[in-house]
A and B are shown apart, each in its own frame.
Chain A
Amino acid sequence: MGARRKAWIVACFLLPNFLGFVVFTAGPVVFSLGASLTNWNLQRTTPTRYVGLANYVELSRDDQFWTYLVNTAYFMIGMPFAIAGSLFLAVLLNQRLRFTTTFRTVLYVPAFTSGVALMILWKALYNPDFGPINAVIEAVLRTIGLGGLEAPQWLLSTRNLFGLDVERLGVVREQFGLGARDALIFMGIWTGVGGGNMLLYLAALSNVPSELTEAAALDGASRWECFRNVTWPQLSPTTFFIVVMSYIGGLQGGFEQARVMTAGGPAGTTTTLAYYIYTKAFEEFQIGYASAVAWVLFGVIFVVTVLNWRFGNRETNLL
């Protein structure tokens, strides 16, 4: 078979997928870049025309955009805890214990349970009056003699760990506490700990040569030293991958939670950039502006990922 004929055959096999990619992925992406340079509004309050970078300039002055960007970043606070938790679980499940397979299955439940079902469940758990979480908190407060303190109102409260103001960027004393943002973070940590990251760590742990840890142990290393100096470096490519993917997922995330649990409230405190894009495009029909927000979000993700690659993979022994 000639090289040219072979190339044609390869091209024919690739063409359906390539066409699908161009039509359904690359095309809309390029289209949205074009849309972000227009004032396209489905409600047609103004005629659609090219506005250059006006949407981007507008966006830089949009208080809500900055608030929601901060919200998005805030929700990522839970990420290191979720990653550490999944590593911890993976290490536990990597031990040769009875019922390990059962534990692995049970701990993977959050990953294959419907997200919406989980969110409705968590909404009930966060019920300020009758939710089990507040029941425990109130019992603990009473036990330590702080029964007068009020338990958090979770999804109904604008308070947060850093005291971020609701309507503008800044910190105010009245906002310190636990509220809707933190509720979603805790739920995210729970979901993240037992999910795909745990499986990735489990797979990586099974690839760590046992001779290395055995040799270290023979040299007198404690279990912690074995983990810190032998296992952990071996896991660094996996950790790097998980961190990069978590950053990307975190920056794109928050939509489902906002849609199902809080409608982005109270007062926009759980609105992330992903939900803001949806609101702008499909509730307010400002397609041009929403496209601009989407491209800025893409830019943020791109920069964060590049920084991760630039500085994060120094510790890995993969690249």
Chain B
Amino acid sequence: MRVFFVAVLALMLVWTVVMGRLGGESVDPGRTPLVWTSDDNPLRKEQVALFNRLHPDLNLTLDPANQGMEKVIVQSIGGVGPDLFDCRDANQLSAYVKAGIALDVTDELRGMGIDVLGETWPAMRSVAVHEGRVYGVPTNIGANALWVNQDLLPRGVVLPSGAWTWSEFIALAQRVTRRDQSGRVVQAGLLFDWYNWPHFLYGFGGRVFSSDGTRCVIDSAEAVQAVSLMQDLVYRYKVTPSPVEEAGMAGQGGWGAGNINLFGAKRGVFALGGRWWLANLRKFDGLRLGVVESPHGTRREFGAVGRATLVNANGPRRTEALRFLSYLASPEYNGLVNDQADGICAFARYAQGDAFEHNPSYPAEDFNLVWRSVSARAVAPESSPYVNGQLANRLIERQLDLVRIGQKMARDALRDAARDINREIARSLDEDPALRERWEAARGPNR
């Protein structure tokens, strides 16, 4: 038995040595290592490779395993955080700044000739700018527009080249929606994900929070109109599959779940989504794609998502990390984002010109100007300093779940969501007298 244990121990030691030699990237001693915490997206690897080619003295590696906000904060405070990390919304940025781990790069960027406030899309500024100071550089923007399966459109249908309204769209969507004899949707007029509710909200001029952020106003008439439309698209106009029908469509024929796959499998004529869908849609054979602006309600505004990359204030290689921010503002990086269809580039000036409009690598994609137009009209995800953004989102989406499955009317659901969020705001104010002072100052004496 003793021989057995000794043999196992010896084997484990040998294995450790072998794996230690095989594992890990060998870093050229002449190159400075840099670590970027971002998502595990295949596109990201090309972006890293391009940076390393442009900066042969640096060795940037991606660390997708530690991208959670809590990990970034704890590791950075502990001195073992990444050199660069991503930020996805204003709430996160505020947390990073308050944790003291986001480096204020206002002056450095100015010195490098990078004007985040002036050159990037307005919707993306809130992920990089906090209380007037710049903490990072936006990496891309994913504004929503309407994907079109051209082959499924009836002959003679001319799509608008600019703005159109939901009522104009619904008439067309009803024409192109097909159902089988049992009433099941076989071809949806419109596919959309319910997490895109802010897109509908902004299109009707609704907002989650009042302009001063002091209260939740998602029960406004505009918001009710927006969410009622979402429900009506499913249950009244029947151009969008219900949750049950959607599950059925995903279950048929092995197309997999998710609207990108359903759209790629020609199960939807129109689909609401971002340019980032292309990264998947390019893999489908025989698709003839088009893009038009999303219909709007009372306002021609659209929902969008995006990221910014920040520098770790406690990182030992801040100077080198700043060179990455410079790279994010470069024509090479922005051109790559446009080519990859990782949304479109964050710097508006690189989203124009012939190379952008008619990319020779993708000659069929003649719709890039639409993405430019919707990015310019995109609205940033909202936040309030008086309530946790994720909590507010959860409270809203919990109610929208009931609207989606047809159990609750939009008016009632949004009234309850607003009540719950305002209760949370009141709770935050009770907890923190300084926050209450700020809240009272923001509300003003007469309100």
In the complex, A47 Cα to B433 Cα: how many Å?
Answer: 11
We find that the number of chain B residues with CB closer than 8 angstroms to chain A is 40
Do A283 and B390 touch across chains, with their CB atoms under 8 A apart?
Answer: yes
In the complex, A282 Cα to B391 Cα: how many Å?
Answer: 11
Do A167 and B416 touch across chains, with their CB atoms under 8 A apart?
Answer: yes
**Residue among B184, B387, B391, B398 with most chain A CB within 10 A:** B398
Least distance between B231 CB and chain A CB atoms (Å): 14
8 Å CB interface, B417-437 against A: 427-428, 431-432, 434-435
Do A130 and B244 touch across chains, with their CB atoms under 8 A apart?
Answer: no
| In the complex, chain A residues whose CB is within 8 Å of the CB of B391 | 284, 286
Among B12-20, B161-169, B246-254, B340-348, the stretch in contact with A: B246-254
The answer to the question of A85 belonging to the interface, with a C-beta cut-off of 8 Å to chain B, is no
Among B3-11, B90-98, B218-226, B291-299, the stretch in contact with A: B90-98
In the complex, A233 Cα to B332 Cα: how many Å?
Answer: 76
| In the complex, chain A residues whose CB is within 8 Å of the CB of B248 | 127-130
Known: A167-B416, A282-B70, A285-B70. A129 touches B244 (CB 8 A): yes
Known: A127-B248, A285-B69. A266 touches B405 (CB 8 A): yes
Least distance between B401 CB and chain A CB atoms (Å): 4
| In the complex, chain A residues whose CB is within 8 Å of the CB of B288 | none
Do A266 and B402 touch across chains, with their CB atoms under 8 A apart?
Answer: yes
The answer to the question of A72 belonging to the interface, with a C-beta cut-off of 8 Å to chain B, is no
| In the complex, chain B residues whose CB is within 8 Å of the CB of A281 | 70
8 Å CB interface, A39-71 against B: 39, 41-47, 51, 58
| In the complex, chain A residues whose CB is within 8 Å of the CB of B428 | 45-46
The answer to the question of A124 belonging to the interface, with a C-beta cut-off of 8 Å to chain B, is yes
A42 and chain B: residue at smallest CB distance: B70
| In the complex, chain A residues whose CB is within 8 Å of the CB of B405 | 156-158, 266-267
Do B402 and A42 touch across chains, with their CB atoms under 8 A apart?
Answer: no
| In the complex, chain B residues whose CB is within 8 Å of the CB of A46 | 428, 431-432, 435
Chain A 262-274 interface mask (CB, 8 Å, partner B; 1/0): 0001111000000
Known: A42-B70, A167-B416, A267-B401. A284 touches B244 (CB 8 A): no
Do A124 and B70 touch across chains, with their CB atoms under 8 A apart?
Answer: no
| In the complex, chain B residues whose CB is within 8 Å of the CB of A286 | 388, 391
The answer to the question of B245 belonging to the interface, with a C-beta cut-off of 8 Å to chain A, is yes
| In the complex, chain B residues whose CB is within 8 Å of the CB of A283 | 390, 394
In the complex, A175 Cα to B247 Cα: how many Å?
Answer: 21
| In the complex, chain B residues whose CB is within 8 Å of the CB of A127 | 247-248, 251
Do A285 and B407 touch across chains, with their CB atoms under 8 A apart?
Answer: no
In the complex, A58 Cα to B434 Cα: how many Å?
Answer: 20
| In the complex, chain B residues whose CB is within 8 Å of the CB of A51 | 431
In the complex, A47 Cα to B99 Cα: how many Å?
Answer: 10
Do A128 and B252 touch across chains, with their CB atoms under 8 A apart?
Answer: no
Chain B 71-110 interface mask (CB, 8 Å, partner A; 1/0): 0010000000000000000011011001100000000000
**Residue among A39, A130, A158 with most chain B CB within 10 A:** A130
**Residue among B245, B394, B416 with most chain A CB within 10 A:** B394
Do B388 and A129 touch across chains, with their CB atoms under 8 A apart?
Answer: no
Selected from A155, A266, A282, A284, the residue in CB contact (under 8 A) with B401 is A266
In the complex, A155 Cα to B184 Cα: how many Å?
Answer: 19
Do A45 and B388 touch across chains, with their CB atoms under 8 A apart?
Answer: yes
The answer to the question of A316 belonging to the interface, with a C-beta cut-off of 8 Å to chain B, is no
Do B251 and A129 touch across chains, with their CB atoms under 8 A apart?
Answer: yes
Do A279 and B394 touch across chains, with their CB atoms under 8 A apart?
Answer: yes
Known: A157-B405, A158-B407, A266-B401. A129 touches B247 (CB 8 A): yes
Chain B 395-418 interface mask (CB, 8 Å, partner A; 1/0): 000110110110100000000100
Do B390 and A285 touch across chains, with their CB atoms under 8 A apart?
Answer: yes
Selected from A41, A58, A128, A282, the residue in CB contact (under 8 A) with B244 is A128
Least distance between A116 CB and chain B CB atoms (Å): 15
In the complex, A155 Cα to B292 Cα: how many Å?
Answer: 34
Known: A282-B70, A285-B70, A285-B390. A156 touches B247 (CB 8 A): yes
Least distance between B182 CB and chain A CB atoms (Å): 9
The answer to the question of A166 belonging to the interface, with a C-beta cut-off of 8 Å to chain B, is yes
In the complex, A266 Cα to B247 Cα: how many Å?
Answer: 14
| In the complex, chain B residues whose CB is within 8 Å of the CB of A284 | 388, 390-391, 394
The answer to the question of B360 belonging to the interface, with a C-beta cut-off of 8 Å to chain A, is no
Least distance between A15 CB and chain B CB atoms (Å): 18
Do B394 and A130 touch across chains, with their CB atoms under 8 A apart?
Answer: no
In the complex, A79 Cα to B407 Cα: how many Å?
Answer: 30
In the complex, A158 Cα to B427 Cα: how many Å?
Answer: 29
In the complex, A155 Cα to B70 Cα: how many Å?
Answer: 31
B72 and chain A: residue at smallest CB distance: A42
| In the complex, chain A residues whose CB is within 8 Å of the CB of B68 | 282
Do A42 and B95 touch across chains, with their CB atoms under 8 A apart?
Answer: yes
Least distance between A131 CB and chain B CB atoms (Å): 7
Do B388 and A43 touch across chains, with their CB atoms under 8 A apart?
Answer: yes
| In the complex, chain B residues whose CB is within 8 Å of the CB of A252 | none
| In the complex, chain B residues whose CB is within 8 Å of the CB of A47 | 432, 434
The answer to the question of B335 belonging to the interface, with a C-beta cut-off of 8 Å to chain A, is no
The answer to the question of B243 belonging to the interface, with a C-beta cut-off of 8 Å to chain A, is yes
| In the complex, chain B residues whose CB is within 8 Å of the CB of A131 | 251
Least distance between B184 CB and chain A CB atoms (Å): 7
8 Å CB interface, A159-185 against B: 166-167
Selected from A44, A58, A155, A267, the residue in CB contact (under 8 A) with B402 is A267
Give chain B's interface residues, CB within 8 Å of chain A: 68-70, 73, 91-92, 94-95, 98-99, 184, 243-245, 247-248, 251-252, 385-391, 394, 398-399, 401-402, 404-405, 407, 416, 427-428, 431-432, 434-435
Q: What are 25 A-B residue pairs whose CB atoms fall within 8 Å in the complex? A: A42-B69, A43-B94, A44-B94, A44-B95, A44-B98, A46-B435, A47-B432, A58-B427, A124-B251, A127-B251, A129-B245, A130-B252, A156-B247, A156-B405, A158-B402, A166-B407, A167-B416, A265-B398, A266-B401, A267-B398, A267-B405, A268-B401, A279-B394, A284-B390, A285-B95
